[in-house]
């Protein structure tokens, strides 16, 4: 529950936030996602696994599989762009938080919200270019993907990744993923990971920790 | 462990280097060896509400249990008697398992979105927790809570009354596979617990045609003599060309890991083709060449392909000569010339020798709407690529003369020699690995019936009795005096079945059900069918009873299903209910305990209160006398229970008919050949005395369906409606889960040019109607659907307004209850019209849910 009575906690959190705004946290290892836009069947098992794990009511969706389709009958195409929180190197949400509830973890780069500090002002929701923060009306707080930090700490992968029936969603150190040096089933033998795809905000904004395997119609010029 | 250590652990696992892989394997085995996967860990600073990590919860391996076409692992994480969350297979649980283990031979059995949402079904407001007796009119939804004593005495009394008054056909068995595909607590259309119960009571009318795939089943039996004509799912990784004919595994998840193995095939260079009125997610994920086709015209296109292959000499004549009967003049048996129905061979039919019409690609193009050049190109590709898999799915068979489509597909598979080879495909029904499926008592009482009809003809039979001809209801022939006797149906049992919502032409069913004197619904949740029942009996879900799951359709494994939580409310298992009813019926009919004892031989009457030791005894016996000796399993029962899963490893991938092709073993048909000419059909002259009722050609033929985009009825009803399986429900199960409703909407898919013409945009509500009914749904406008075709997914929970319009958008308000001769349901043979409407769509009972939730909510 939101507890704002403890003024010293808020003070400390706000200070932490101020520091992180001007000197972004550089994590020991930045974890990030990889999603194969082409091979994904769009089944949304990852979404449901996430909702079940986080006990979410209908409405807020920490993970969102976006369906993209185009062309004219009968020459059509379709692909999926699957995004939760991108645990950005320079998260746009973090500076907006008045209570310092949003923080970036030093050990693994996870951008997290301390629910006990969140007052539900929804500024982070407005700032995020990817729609990651999700307002939960029943609790009057904003919450979002924390990369299942409890599972990460236990040496396992997050629920969404472990739910993927096609093995097209994975997690790993983002620098290795970007260089395609990380062994993952999400990237096929003939695939190249890219930082940007159509229907995804410009990654230069926040340096998000995610790479994609792009559909031929979803490629953007670097 | 410090966070850094943990990160290193993750690192090592994510990298899966040989060394760390071995290390984690050992760790996994050790965790299992100690008998617990639960590792307690000190709570760390974790800035959330009280939150139990997985390792602080109790972990139980179980599975999903519905009739979707696959079966995957679910892992329950419990606190006390409450399931806090579900996860799925992560490689740890199997023999020699380790976290992350996911090999081609033993892939993880990851649950789909439906299974993952199971807590919502388990703890839903629609959950049935107490026996209920109807107090309002049928369909009105007014019930009061009654005791089990009242409920069972009422049902037993009525059963005896109906049997005495109307005879041995008075009770209609409409059990279906919706409740459990387990080995013990089995709801099944033909040989499940209900069948045995009603059969032993000597009052049962059976329903023989399977809604999903009867056209395919009949076709596979005629052609191959079996429905086990499928290769295992891992064989799909070895094909070079995959033709998905009306098949959308991205929605159905058919088979354990079929869709995943197909991704491997794609990475290995396999080309994909989709023949479907819709550009499905399967097409996009596998980057398929999409060939849109008019619904119901598949057999014509296949005939065009066969013509191209024959006339260009691309067929495998050696294969045909050796393995096929009736493919051409050379493979016709001598006896066929003297049969009433078997004088034609397939090749001469295709070449037009009999009717003067060669079935050329140009001829086919005019019927199916696919350009002749595309038909030729595909035929060429299929005939020249080896091995190639023509996967003829069930959906195009759910049509008028749907069996002809499946028969035609088998002919193509045979003429190209793609049967019995790795990477080829002979299905069909496609059941592959044979599981030991039965732990319940299975004996001479298992399938007793006194009449058996086509499943979608019950309403017709009830409404027109006794003026019904046997061919109208597809009456199965008998060898005794009951042959030809039309059943006098006066009561229905639903077990694991929402058939009222799922069979064709619902308005006719509504009319018929009011003529019945007893309707019993056994289910875990209230369903649209349940609203028409007299008595609702609350059935424990598979989370609340002990069982073992077997794969459905494909995959080779068993998953243990322990009683994860205690049964909620007053719910009982099906087996408990039938056992107790058997005792009550026995006592009322002078049999004493004999009926109950025979029905459930391992139990006495205390089974009602304490089923666990008996269920354990059945399952252990099944494992030790069937699985272990027959399937060469050496894992003891206790170990299996501890692991929760047993995955089989094969020396080589299982390919249907491999022995027939490689070793010359005969096929299971009367001739021992692949019967393109069916010996059974060839002999028939009086069709009314068969369960088919009407003439069926003995070779695959194109037969004009009674409704299609080519028929004159399109002047009044210009759209062809198809109703495929949705991804967000298993038929009607899970329709009440809000997580799933949020991911997809019940909507009708319309081509953009059609929508423009009617000034309809995405999100508008439309009314779709024909002479049989009316429904209201929102529209999804897309370029991915063929013009003239509407797509509305089956299984939405019926929600009628006072005008009889279904506001939920259930397509079975519009379907026709006229089955194909072979028994195929004509779900996809529907013409209709569409217009914009002001009527409001009601997704999933939103308007009614409040009142019902008060009635059905669990007492806390």
Cα–Cα distance, B269 to B264 (Å, whole number): 9
Residues of chain A contacting B751 with CB distance shorter than 8 Å: 73
Contact B743 A47 (CB under 8 A): yes
Cα–Cα distance, B363 to B108 (Å, whole number): 47
Specify the 3-state DSSP secondary structure of B318. Answer: helix
**pLDDT over 90 for what percent of chain B?**
86
The Cα of B621 is separated from the nearest Cα of chain A by a number of Å equal to: 34
B172, B207 Cβ separation under 8 angstroms: yes
- pLDDT surpasses 90 at B22: no
Per-residue model confidence (pLDDT) at position B456: 95
Per-residue model confidence (pLDDT) at position B97: 96
Sequence-distant (≥ 6) Cβ neighbours of residue B205 within 8 angstroms: B169, B170, B171, B172, B173, B449, B450, B451, B452, B453, B487, B489
Tell me what the mean pLDDT of segment A175-180 comes to: 97
Cα–Cα distance, B523 to B537 (Å, whole number): 7
Cα–Cα distance, B742 to B373 (Å, whole number): 42
Cα–Cα distance, B24 to B16 (Å, whole number): 9
Please identify among residues 690-719 of chain B the ones whose CB lies closer than 8 Å to any CB of chain A: none
Question: Are both B503 and B591 inside the same structural domain?
Answer: yes
Residues of chain A contacting B555 with CB distance shorter than 8 Å: none
**pLDDT over 70 for what percent of chain A?**
97
B648, B630 Cβ separation under 8 angstroms: no
Sequence-distant (≥ 6) Cβ neighbours of residue B822 within 8 angstroms: B214, B215, B218, B219, B402, B403, B692, B696
Per-residue model confidence (pLDDT) at position B35: 33
Provide the total of helices (H) and of strands (E) in chain B, helices listed first: 30, 26
* Sheet bearing B518-523, strands edge to edge: B143-145, B132-134, B535-538, B518-523, B491-495, B171-173, B205-207, B451-453
Indicate which CATH number applies to the domain containing B844. Answer: 2.40.40.20
- In this prediction, does ipTM exceed 0.90? yes
Residues of chain B contacting A77 with CB distance shorter than 8 Å: 284
Cα–Cα distance, B460 to B817 (Å, whole number): 8
Tell me what the mean pLDDT of segment B782-803 comes to: 95
Decide the pairing of beta strands B58-63 and A210-213: unpaired
Q: Is B15 on the interface with A (CB under 8 A)?
A: yes
Mean pLDDT of chain B: 92
Q: What is the CATH number of domain A7-218?
A: 3.30.70.20
Query: Which candidate from A29, A76, A166 shows the least CB-CB separation from B783?
Result: A76
Q: Is B86 on the interface with A (CB under 8 A)?
A: yes
**Could you give the C-alpha distances from A200 to A96, A186, A208, B19, B680, in angstroms and in order?**
22, 19, 11, 38, 60
Question: Are both B224 and B363 inside the same structural domain?
Answer: yes
Question: Are both B393 and B448 inside the same structural domain?
Answer: no
Tell me if B666 is assigned to some domain: no
Query: Which candidate from A55, A113, A166 shows the least CB-CB separation from B260?
Result: A166
Q: How many domains does chain B have?
A: 4
Q: What are φ and ψ of residue A164, in 5° steps? A: -70, 110
Please identify among residues 258-277 of chain B the ones whose CB lies closer than 8 Å to any CB of chain A: 259-260, 263, 266-267
B704-749 pLDDT tens trace: 999 999 999 999 999 999 999 999 999 999 998 989 988 888 999 9
* Nearest residue of chain A to residue B41 (CA atoms): A154
* Sheet bearing B241-245, strands edge to edge: B289-291, B271-275, B241-245, B388-392
Which of B391-395, B440-444, B570-574 shows the lowest mean pLDDT across its residues?
Answer: B440-444
Q: Among the three residues B367, B400, B433, which one is the final residue of a domain in this structure?
A: B433
Beta bridge partners of B536: B132, B521
B114, B68 Cβ separation under 8 angstroms: yes
Per-residue model confidence (pLDDT) at position B835: 97
Per-residue model confidence (pLDDT) at position B141: 86
Cα–Cα distance, B131 to B127 (Å, whole number): 12
Question: Are both B423 and B524 inside the same structural domain?
Answer: no
Q: Two tokens at B622?
A: 């099944």
Q: Two tokens at B345?
A: 């061979």
Helices B298-311, B372-384: inter-axial angle, 10-degree rounding: 60
Question: Are both B625 and B515 inside the same structural domain?
Answer: yes
The Cα of A85 is separated from the nearest Cα of chain B by a number of Å equal to: 18
Tell me if B428 is assigned to some domain: yes
Q: Two tokens at B575?
A: 């087996």
What confidence tier does B540 reach under pLDDT thresholds 50, 70, 90?
very high
Contact A165 B14 (CB under 8 A): no
Per-residue model confidence (pLDDT) at position B608: 98
Contact A151 B787 (CB under 8 A): no
What confidence tier does A43 reach under pLDDT thresholds 50, 70, 90?
very high
What confidence tier does B536 reach under pLDDT thresholds 50, 70, 90?
very high
Question: Are both B296 and B359 inside the same structural domain?
Answer: yes
Contact B787 A171 (CB under 8 A): no
B501, B795 Cβ separation under 8 angstroms: yes
Tokens 């392909």 label which residue?
B305
B558-582 pLDDT tens trace: 999 999 999 999 999 999 999 999 9
Query: Which candidate from A39, A73, A113 shows the least CB-CB separation from B263?
Result: A39
* Nearest residue of chain B to residue A63 (CA atoms): B743
Q: Among the three residues B433, B451, B470, which one is the final residue of a domain in this structure?
A: B433
Tell me what the mean pLDDT of segment A175-194 comes to: 97
Question: Are both B88 and B136 inside the same structural domain?
Answer: no
Contact B14 A182 (CB under 8 A): yes
The DSSP output letter for B843 is G
Interface probe, candidates A44, A66, A104, A213, chain B, greatest B C-beta count within 10 A: A44
**pLDDT over 70 for what percent of chain B?**
92
Tokens 């359709």 label which residue?
B553
The DSSP output letter for B626 is I
What confidence tier does A3 reach under pLDDT thresholds 50, 70, 90?
low
B820-854 pLDDT tens trace: 999 999 999 999 999 999 999 987 665 433 333 33
What confidence tier does B7 reach under pLDDT thresholds 50, 70, 90?
low
Residues belonging to chain A? 222
B495-522 pLDDT tens trace: 999 999 999 999 999 999 999 999 999 9
Question: Are both B449 and B570 inside the same structural domain?
Answer: yes
What confidence tier does B699 reach under pLDDT thresholds 50, 70, 90?
very high
Sequence-distant (≥ 6) Cβ neighbours of residue A8 within 8 angstroms: none
Question: Are both B171 and B240 inside the same structural domain?
Answer: no
Q: Two tokens at B225?
A: 């003599």
Which of A53-62, B112-121, B204-213, B773-782 shows the lowest mean pLDDT across its residues?
Answer: A53-62
What confidence tier does B179 reach under pLDDT thresholds 50, 70, 90?
confident
Q: What are φ and ψ of residue A91, in 5° steps? A: -65, 130
B698, B681 Cβ separation under 8 angstroms: yes
Query: Which candidate from B47, B727, B782 shows the least CB-CB separation from A43?
Result: B727
The Cα of B784 is separated from the nearest Cα of chain A by a number of Å equal to: 6
Per-residue model confidence (pLDDT) at position B742: 85
Q: Among the three residues B635, B668, B691, which one is the final residue of a domain in this structure?
A: B635
* Nearest residue of chain A to residue B52 (CA atoms): A150
B54-64 pLDDT tens trace: 999 999 999 99
Instruction: Count CB pairs under 8 A between chains A and B.
Output: 175
- Evaluate the omega torsion of the peptide bond into residue B333 and state whether it is cis, within 30 degrees of 0: no
B646, B433 Cβ separation under 8 angstroms: no
What confidence tier does B815 reach under pLDDT thresholds 50, 70, 90?
very high
B78-107 pLDDT tens trace: 999 999 999 999 999 999 999 999 999 999
Q: Two tokens at B796?
A: 């939405």
Nearest to B673 by CA among B325, B329, B317, B327: B325
Indicate which CATH number applies to the domain containing B594. Answer: 3.40.50.740
Tell me what the mean pLDDT of segment B809-814 comes to: 97
Tell me what the mean pLDDT of segment B7-34 comes to: 44
- Evaluate the omega torsion of the peptide bond into residue B234 and state whether it is cis, within 30 degrees of 0: no
Residues of chain A contacting B753 with CB distance shorter than 8 Å: 73
Contact A43 B54 (CB under 8 A): no
Per-residue model confidence (pLDDT) at position A205: 93
Question: Are both B401 and B519 inside the same structural domain?
Answer: no
Domain of residue B408, residue span? 214-330+341-433
Please identify among residues 91-130 of chain B the ones whose CB lies closer than 8 Å to any CB of chain A: 99-100, 102, 110-113, 116-117, 119
- pLDDT surpasses 50 at B389: yes
Per-residue model confidence (pLDDT) at position B69: 87
Contact B99 A183 (CB under 8 A): no
């Amino acid at each position: 529950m939101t507890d704002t009575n403890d003024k010293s906690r808020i003070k400390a959190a706000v200070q932490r936030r101020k520091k992180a705004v001007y000197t972004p946290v550089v994590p020991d290892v930045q974890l990030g996602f990889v999603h194969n836009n082409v091979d994904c069947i769009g089944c949304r098992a990852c979404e449901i696994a996430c909702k079940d794990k986080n006990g979410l009511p209908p409405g807020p969706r920490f993970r969102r599989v976006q369906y993209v389709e185009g062309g004219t009958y009968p020459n059509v195409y379709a692909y999926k762009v699957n995004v939760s929180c991108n645990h950005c190197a320079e998260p746009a949400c973090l500076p907006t938080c008045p209570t310092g509830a949003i923080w970036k973890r030093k050990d693994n780069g996870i951008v997290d919200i301390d629910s006990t500090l969140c007052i539900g002002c929804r500024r982070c929701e407005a700032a995020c270019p990817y729609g990651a923060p999700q307002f939960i009306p029943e609790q009057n707080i904003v919450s979002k993907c924390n990369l299942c930090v409890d599972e990460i700490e236990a040496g396992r992968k997050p629920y969404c990744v472990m739910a993927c029936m096609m093995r097209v969603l994975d997690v790993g150190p983002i620098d290795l993923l970007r260089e395609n040096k990380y062994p993952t089933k999400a990237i096929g033998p003939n695939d190249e990971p890219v930082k940007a795809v159509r229907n995804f905000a410009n990654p230069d904004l926040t340096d998000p920790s995610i790479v994609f395997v792009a559909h031929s119609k979803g490629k953007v010029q670097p | 462990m410090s966070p850094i250590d943990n990160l290193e652990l993750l690192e090592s696992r994510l990298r899966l280097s040989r060394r760390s892989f071995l290390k984690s394997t050992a760790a996994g085995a050790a965790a299992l060896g100690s008998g617990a996967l639960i590792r307690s860990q000190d709570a760390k600073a974790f800035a959330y509400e009280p939150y139990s990590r997985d390792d602080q919860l109790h972990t139980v391996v179980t599975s999903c249990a519905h009739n979707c076409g696959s079966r995957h692992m679910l892992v329950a994480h419990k606190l006390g008697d409450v399931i806090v969350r579900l996860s799925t297979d992560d490689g740890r649980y199997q023999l020699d398992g380790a976290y992350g283990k996911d090999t081609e031979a033993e892939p993880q059995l990851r649950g789909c979105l439906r299974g993952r949402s199971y807590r919502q079904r388990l703890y839903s407001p629609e959950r049935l927790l107490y026996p209920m007796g109807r107090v309002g009119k049928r369909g009105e939804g007014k019930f009061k809570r009654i005791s089990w004593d009242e409920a069972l005495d009422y049902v037993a009394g009525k059963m005896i009354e109906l049997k005495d008054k109307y005879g041995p056909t008075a009770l209609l068995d409409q059990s279906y596979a919706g409740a459990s595909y387990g080995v013990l607590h089995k709801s099944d259309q033909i040989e499940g617990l209900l069948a045995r119960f009603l059969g032993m009571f000597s009052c049962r009318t059976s329903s023989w045609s399977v809604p999903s795939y009867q056209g395919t089943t009949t076709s596979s039996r005629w052609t191959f003599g079996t429905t086990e004509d499928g290769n295992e799912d891992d064989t799909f990784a070895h094909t070079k060309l995959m033709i998905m004919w009306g098949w959308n595994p991205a929605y159905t998840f058919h088979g354990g890991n079929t869709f995943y193995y197909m991704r491997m095939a794609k990475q290995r260079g396999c080309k994909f083709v989709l023949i479907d009125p819709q550009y499905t997610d399967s097409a996009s994920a596998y980057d398929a060449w999409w060939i849109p086709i008019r619904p119901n015209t598949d057999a014509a296109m296949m005939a065009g392909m066969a013509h191209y292959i024959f006339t260009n000499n691309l067929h495998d004549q050696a294969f045909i000569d050796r393995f096929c009967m009736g493919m051409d003049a050379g493979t016709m048996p001598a006896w066929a010339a003297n049969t009433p129905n078997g004088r034609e061979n397939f090749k001469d039919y295709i070449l037009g020798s009999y009717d003067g019409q060669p079935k050329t690609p140009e001829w086919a193009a005019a019927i199916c709407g696919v350009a002749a050049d595309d038909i030729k190109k595909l035929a060429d590709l299929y005939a020249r690529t080896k091995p190639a898999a023509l996967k003829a799915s069930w959906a195009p068979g759910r049509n008028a003369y749907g069996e002809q489509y499946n028969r035609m597909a088998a002919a193509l598979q045979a003429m190209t020699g793609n049967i019995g080879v790795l990477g080829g495909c002979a299905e069909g029904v496609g059941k592959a690995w044979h599981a030991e499926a039965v732990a319940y008592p299975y004996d001479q009482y298992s399938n007793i019936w006194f009449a058996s009809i086509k499943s979608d003809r019950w309403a017709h039979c009830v409404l027109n009795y006794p003026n019904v001809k046997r061919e109208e209801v597809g009456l199965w022939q008998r060898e005794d005096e009951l042959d030809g006797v039309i059943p006098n149906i006066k009561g229905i049992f639903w077990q694991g079945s929402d058939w009222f919502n799922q069979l064709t032409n619902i308005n006719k069913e509504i009319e018929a059900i009011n003529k019945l004197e007893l309707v019993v619904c056994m289910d875990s949740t209230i369903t649209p069918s349940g609203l028409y029942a007299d008595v609702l009996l609350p059935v424990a879900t598979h989370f609340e009873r002990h069982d073992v799951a077997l794969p459905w359709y494909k995959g080779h494994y068993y998953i243990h299903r322990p009683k994860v939580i205690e049964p909620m409310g007053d719910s009982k298992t099906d087996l408990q209910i039938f056992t107790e009813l058997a005792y009550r019926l026995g006592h009322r009919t002078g049999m004493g305990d004999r009926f109950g004892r025979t029905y459930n031989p391992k139990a006495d009457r205390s089974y009602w209160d304490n089923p666990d030791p008996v269920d354990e005894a059945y399952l252990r016996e099944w494992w030790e006398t069937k699985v272990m000796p027959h399937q060469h399993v050496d894992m003891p029962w206790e170990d299996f229970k501890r692991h929760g899963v047993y995955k089989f490893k094969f020396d080589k991938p299982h390919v249907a008919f491999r022995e027939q092709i490689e070793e010359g073993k005969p096929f299971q048909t009367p001739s021992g050949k692949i019967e393109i000419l069916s010996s059974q059909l060839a002999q028939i002259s009086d069709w009314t005395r068969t369960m088919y009722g009407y003439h069926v050609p003995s070779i695959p033929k194109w037969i004009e369906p009674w409704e299609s985009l080519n028929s004159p009825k399109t002047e009044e009803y210009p759209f062809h409606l198809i109703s495929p399986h949705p991804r967000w429900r298993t038929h009607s199960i899970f329709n009440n889960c809000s997580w799933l409703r949020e991911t997809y909407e019940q909507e009708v898919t319309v081509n953009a040019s059609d929508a423009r013409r009617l000034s309809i945009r995405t999100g508008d509500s439309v009314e779709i109607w024909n002479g049989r009914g009316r429904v209201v749904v929102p529209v999804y406008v897309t370029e991915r659907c063929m013009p003239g075709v509407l797509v509305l997914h089956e299984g939405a929970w019926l929600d009628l307004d006072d005008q009889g319009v279904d506001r939920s958008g259930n397509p079975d308000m519009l379907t026709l209850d006229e089955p194909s001769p072979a028994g195929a349901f004509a779900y996809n043979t529907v013409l209709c019209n569409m217009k914009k409407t002001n009527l409001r769509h009601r997704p999933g009972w939103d308007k009614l849910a409040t009142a019902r939730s008060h009635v059905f909510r669990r007492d806390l």
